[in-house]
Structure formats: C-alpha cells, structure tokens
C-alpha cells in the first residue's frame, strides 16, 4: 500500500448534502462522537428508543463478564418485527421494500406488507417442520428474495440462521452444518451466474449426505425456465412453494431476549478451520440500524443498492437487517456485474434510479479495466452517495469511482469493519467527514480505536485496537469460547479487541487501514485464511508441505500464491497442479483458487522450523529479499527466487 502514504487530496461534501444530512458538518459529528464516548449508555439508549421493544432493557451495557459483554439486558424485541411489522403498523406497508432483479432480467417488486406476509408464511412452515427457538438452520441460496425471507423468518421465530455463501463447496457446507449441528438446510434447485444455472441442490445433497443432524431440506424453485436436475429425497426434501401455499400468512414475532443468538456466520481465521461468529439480538439490532441510518444517511425517498451477497456479513447487515429496519426501498440483484454485458450495474442504477450505491473495491477495479464506454447512455444522475467495503480501496480506483460514477459530487464512504464487528467501525459520515482517497477516516459513534504496538503503547503506525465494547460486536465463536478469547482478546491482556488489521494515523487524526497483520487475506472481497488452503494441499499424498501467501493483485486486491513442496521422488507437474486446484474447489470453493502454484524442493524456515512467509511474499512480489539472517538454510530462497522467475 505504498501509494496511500503520500495521498493528500481531500474532498469535502457539498453544501447541499451537508445541509440535509442526518449528521450535518464536522462539528456536529465531533460533538456527538464525544458524547458517545463519554456516556455510551445514554447514547445507545437514545438510538434504541427509535426501535420497537416488547419490553425495554434494564441495563444498556453489562461488562461484568468481559469479554462476554451483554447489551440491553432485560429487554425483549424481535429483528423481523423491527424490519417489517413496525413499518406496516406505521403506514409504510405499501412502500416497496425490495426491487428484485434476476440475472436473466426477470423482476419482482415486493412491498413491506408483502414481505411481511411472505416471512410469516415461511415462519409458519418452519414451525410445522418442528423448528424451535435456538435451532440452527443453514441457508444456501442464490440472491433471490426467498433468501431475505428465509433469514427474516428464522429471526421471527428465534431460529438461528447460518447463511453459507452459494459459492462454497459441498465440503464447506458439511463443515458448517456439523459444527453447529444444523437440523435444516434451505436451498434452491439452482441460481443464475453469467447465464448459467449453478446446480445448488446437488452440492447440498453431497454436503449433507453424511450429516445425520439434517432432518429437512427445503428447496426454492428458481429454474422454471431452465429446469435443473434436482432429485428430491423422500422424507427429507420438500419444495418451498408447496409448503408456503398451505400455511397462514400471520405469525406473531417471538419475543426474543437481548442476548438470544440471532445468527452464526462462518468466517476465516488463521487456522484451517473457519469459525462460527455469533451475533445476538438486541445489540446487533441497534447497531445495524444506526450505522445504516447515519453512514448511508438514509431518507424515506432513497433507493439503496448494495451489490454484496447476503452470504457475507455485508449482506446480513446492509441488505437485510440494517436497511430494512430503516424502512427504505432497496434493489437486490441476483447475478454477475458483467452479464449480459459489462454495463449491467449501471443499467440497474439507471432503471431503478438508485440514490445510494455500495460495492467492493474489486468490482470498481474490474469496471475500470472493462472501460468507460460501458457507462455511455446510462443516466447515473440519481446517485447521491457511494460506498465501498471489504478491503482498502486504492486511490486510483477511488478517483475513478468519484469521477465516473459519482460525477464528482457524491461523497464516498469507505467503510472499514468485519464479520466480527457486525457493522461499520471506521467510516466517513457523508455529510460531515471530508474524505481522502483510500482512507477509512474516522470512527463511528461509540467506537474508540487506537493504534498500538505489541506492548500496547500508542504508536503512529502499528496494530489497530478497539478500546471500548460496541453493541454490534460478536459475542463469541460457536462452541469455542476459548478460541474467542485467544483470537480477539489476548493480544493486549484482555483489555482491547484485536481485529487483526494494521493501521496508521495521519496528521488529521484520520486512520488508514494497512491490511491484515495475520494470515487472513481478502481475495475479490472474499475473506480467506491462507491456512485453509495449506491444510487442503497437505492432504494430497504427494505433498509434504505448503505455504500460501497473499500478494497485491490489480483486480482482486489480493492474489494467492501457493508454494508446495512435493515428497521426494514424486512427480510435480501440471497434472498434480490440476489435482491440487480440484481439491481447493472441492474443499472450499472455486473462488479460493490460487493464482499460481509453485513447486519447490524446500521452504525458507527459521532455525526453529517456522516458515518465513514474509520472504515468500518478497519472492512472489519480485522484491528484494528482507532480512534473511535468521534462515536455517539461506540457499533455499535463492533457489526459490530462480524457480519463481523462470516458472
């Protein structure tokens, strides 16, 4: 990220935007931010008061069992009620909640009242299948409205959803299902991607074949036009459309306790095993609501579009929960950005008159590469605010977004946050914070960041820490409280949250994210642990050892380079390479394929046997090697360097 260290351009929001914004001007932000730190409980109680509670809380924050913080204890509420019933009760039932567009061009407009009915119906289906509060349900669906319906139906009756992104493999489904003992899977016969039908049900069948805990599989039919081979297993599988036809469209929302588990979302860490991040009810509800309202400056007339998939945290918080709680209209799109051509996103913005557009830097870089002519004839003048998420955005891409999409008048909110944080943590507020290309700028209300060294001292550049608890924070790792403590709270003796990112502070006090300090990478906005790939490779009988590193990539942000040591005497050729790629497809999903696999006779190690990934990154980036004095055998890197440049 060298290019950001000398980035000094600064862009202030235009006067009109500032005038009409929820948080208007820097001074307003500063005052409210200070208030949120001085008296967080008063700040969060005021925010929570904007929502519906069956019973209000006794305490806002209970930190007596830190790091197992509790928020809004004593309250009873329901996320699906706040996303749906509240709007219908207040006369917004006819407003469009979702303009849905399928990849082939089929479209549906769903009002808040309709969405409520569909959610109630499906919640009743879940009940007739015997689902109870606390049961875990896996959801493996394309971006169809039923995905939002299924998520909200779980929330309505207190079932815990575990959405698995529909690009994951059968093995990944199995791991997640077994880890959380999921009793039901909701899937589809297929989903469209670049004109093709992905056969999802087959992947589920393979994934759950040996999972005795799965009693039911409910299948949404997406393939009316292109029938998909979708064998139904008697006694286990049923069609969604048949089930919902037989039930009532009324289903009262369950009164949930504040810390009742709302969902699990598996994400990558530094080991080979993804962790089930736990988010609970009341705190996540308030945090997703307020960050959406202020960061996207949501107003009743907005047409919001987030291009993420509900399979990732961005879709959970900023398609489903945060956005629907704010009662705005949003666009939901099923397919690829380049189908039928590279102008598809801009056609959608033009068609629905999108006002707020939220996407990933990797998509922006792809648009830049595809060429500006795809914007010809598309009217983007409805846009008033742009956002990015998932990885740092390079200043070049930021400037292109600003000029070509924002017409130089839309603020850009570069939002830094994580699956674990539940919602935005560092971000400009669009009517208040002057922005800088590539910079996530300032903390959201109630968030107290610091940049520390390993000893916990404040430094200008180092490791990002979060000093105070916030309502949207994860509550644990499913089934593994120790891993939760070790991963997030042990770095500075249990005092601060450790997100795993490096950061630096500039002369204005703005925070720049410098990338992960652990072995987690973001490839095209998909979070992957390099250890996950390594543990797959070493399962191959011919592989002795492997190390995977992430290096900068023009489009994907990070590309993956795998160094694989083959057992002596075994062939290392393209055939083996293909087998290894096939194993990644099967164990994780195609999106995790490495860009290059390099066979090596050995890997650079310290005398105590630790692989020096830093040197592997230098080799892969073609850089001058860093300090090699701790290497057990310095000749290893020379050989590797030579092999790398010749391969």
Instruction: Name the site residues for ligand WTA (rule: CB under 6 A).
Output: 267, 312-314, 389-392, 414-419, 440, 499-501, 513, 516, 522, 527
Sign of the alpha-carbon torsion through 622, 624, 628, 633: positive
> By C-beta, is 113 or 555 nearer to ligand WTA?
555
Q: Which residue of the chain is nearest ligand WTA when measured via CB? A: 419
Cβ-based nearer residue to ligand WTA, 77 or 415: 415
Q: Which is nearer to ligand WTA, 513 or 584 (CB)?
A: 513
Query: Closest distance between ligand WTA and the C-beta of residue 414, in Å?
Result: 5
C-beta separation of 69 from 311 below 8 A: no
Show the tokens assigned to 623. Answer: 């850089």
- Nearest distance from residue 557's CB to ligand WTA, in Å? 9
Which residue is it, tokens 């500075």?
492
CB 501 to ligand WTA: min, Å: 5
- Side-chain half-sphere exposure of 361, counting CA atoms within 13 A: 29
Helices (H), 413-543: 481-489, 530-537
257 versus 391: smaller Cβ distance to ligand WTA? 391
The bridge status of strand 256-257 relative to strand 275-280 is unpaired
Q: How far is the CB of 315 from ligand WTA (least distance, A)?
A: 10
User: What token pair was written down for 637?
Assistant: 């890197």
Q: Which is nearer to ligand WTA, 117 or 275 (CB)?
A: 275
Query: How far apart are CB 585 and ligand WTA at their closest, in Å?
Result: 21
Minimum separation from the CB atom of position 439 to ligand WTA (A):
9
Instruction: Write down the least CB distance from residue 506 to ligand WTA, Å.
Output: 15
CB of 441 to ligand WTA, least distance (A): 10
Number of helices (H), then strands (E), belonging to the chain: the values are: 21, 30
| Pairing mode, strands 501-505 and 461-466 | antiparallel
Shortest Cβ distance from residue 520 to ligand WTA (Å)?
7
- Report which secondary-structure segment, H or E, holds 153: helix 145-157
Residue 343 or 472 with smaller CB distance to ligand WTA: 472
User: Coil, strand or helix: which one is 606?
Assistant: strand
Using alpha carbons only, give the angle 406, 409, 412 rounded to the nearest 5 degrees: 60
DSSP state of 11: B
Nearer to ligand WTA, 98 or 392 (CB): 392
Nearer to ligand WTA (CB atom), residue 365 or residue 527? 527
For ligand WTA, which is the closer residue by CB, 154 or 440?
A: 440
CA atoms within 13 A on the CB side of 61: 19
Buried b (16+ CB within 10 A) or exposed e, 94-124: eebbbbbbbbeeeeeebbbbbbbbbbbbbbb
Cis upstream peptide for 348 (omega within 30°): no
Sign of the alpha-carbon dihedral angle for 315, 318, 319, 320: positive
207 vs 74, 175, 177, 239, 584, CA distance in Å? 39, 9, 9, 19, 15
Residue 498: CB minimum distance to ligand WTA, A = 11
Question: What's the min distance (Å) between Cβ of 287 and ligand WTA?
Answer: 13
Q: How far is CA 396 from CA 4, 8, 129, 436, 520, in A?
A: 10, 13, 52, 12, 24
Nearer to ligand WTA, 188 or 390 (CB): 390
CB closer to ligand WTA, 126 vs 592: 592
């Amino acid at each position: 990220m060298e290019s950001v260290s000398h980035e000094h351009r600064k862009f202030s929001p235009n006067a009109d935007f500032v005038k009409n914004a929820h948080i208007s001007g820097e001074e307003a932000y500063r005052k409210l931010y200070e208030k949120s730190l001085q008296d967080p409980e008063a700040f969060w109680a005021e925010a929570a008061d904007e929502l519906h509670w069956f019973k209000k809380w006794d305490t806002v924050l209970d930190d007596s069992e830190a790091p197992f913080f509790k928020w809004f204890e004593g309250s009873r509420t329901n996320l699906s009620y706040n996303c749906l019933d509240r709007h219908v009760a207040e006369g917004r039932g006819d407003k469009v909640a979702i303009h849905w567009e399928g990849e082939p061009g089929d479209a549906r407009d769903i009002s808040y009242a309709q969405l409520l009915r569909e959610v109630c119906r499906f919640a009743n289906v879940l009940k007739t299948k015997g689902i109870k509060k606390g049961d875990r349900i896996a959801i493996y669906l394309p971006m169809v409205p039923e995905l939002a319906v299924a998520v909200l139906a779980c929330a309505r009756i207190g079932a815990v959803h575990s959405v698995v992104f529909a690009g994951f493999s059968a093995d990944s489904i199995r791991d997640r299902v077994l880890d959380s003992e999921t009793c039901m899977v909701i899937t589809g016969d297929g989903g469209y991607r670049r004109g093709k039908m992905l056969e999802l049900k087959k992947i589920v069948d393979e994934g759950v074949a040996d999972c005795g805990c799965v009693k039911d599989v409910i299948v949404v039919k997406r393939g009316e036009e292109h029938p998909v081979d979708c064998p139904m297993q008697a006694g286990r599988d049923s069609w969604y459309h048949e089930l919902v036809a037989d039930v009532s469209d009324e289903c009262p929302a369950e009164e949930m306790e504040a810390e009742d588990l709302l969902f699990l979302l598996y994400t990558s860490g530094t080991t080979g095993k993804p962790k089930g991040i736990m988010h609970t009810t009341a705190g996540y509800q308030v945090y997703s609501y307020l960050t959406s309202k202020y960061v996207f400056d949501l107003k009743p007339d907005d047409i919001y579009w987030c291009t993420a998939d509900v399979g990732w945290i961005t879709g959970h918080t900023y398609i489903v929960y945060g956005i629907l709680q704010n009662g705005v209209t949003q666009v939901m799109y099923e397919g690829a950005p380049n189908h039928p051509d590279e102008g598809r996103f801009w056609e959608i913005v033009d068609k629905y008159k999108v006002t707020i557009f939220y996407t990933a830097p990797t998509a922006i870089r792809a648009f830049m590469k595809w060429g500006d002519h795809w914007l010809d004839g598309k009217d983007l003048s409805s846009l008033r605010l742009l956002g990015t998420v998932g990885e740092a955005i390079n200043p070049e891409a930021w400037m292109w977004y600003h000029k070509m999409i924002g017409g130089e008048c839309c603020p850009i909110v570069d939002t830094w946050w994580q699956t674990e944080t539940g919602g935005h943590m560092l971000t400009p507020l669009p009517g208040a914070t002057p922005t800088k290309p590539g910079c996530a700028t300032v903390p959201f209300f109630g968030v107290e960041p610091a940049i520390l060294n390993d000893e916990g001292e404040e430094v200008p550049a180092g490791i990002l820490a979060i000093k105070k608890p916030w309502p949207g924070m994860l509550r644990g790792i499913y089934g593994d409280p120790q891993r939760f403590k070790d991963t997030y709270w042990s770095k500075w003796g249990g005092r601060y949250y450790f997100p795993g990112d490096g950061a630096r502070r500039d002369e204005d006090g703005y925070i720049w994210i410098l990338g992960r300090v652990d072995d987690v990478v973001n490839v095209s906005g998909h979070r992957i642990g390099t250890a996950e790939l390594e543990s797959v490779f070493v399962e191959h009988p011919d592989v002795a050892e492997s190390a995977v590193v992430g290096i900068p990539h023009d489009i994907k942000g990070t590309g993956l380079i795998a160094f694989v040591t083959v057992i002596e005497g075994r062939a290392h050729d393209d055939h083996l390479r293909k087998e290894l790629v096939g194993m990644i497809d099967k164990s994780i999903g195609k999106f995790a394929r490495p860009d290059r696999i390099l066979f090596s006779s050995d890997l650079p190690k310290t005398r105590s046997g630790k692989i020096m990934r830093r040197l592997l990154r230098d080799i892969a980036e073609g850089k001058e090697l860093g300090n090699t004095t701790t290497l057990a055998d310095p000749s290893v890197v020379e050989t590797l360097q030579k092999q790398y440049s010749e391969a």
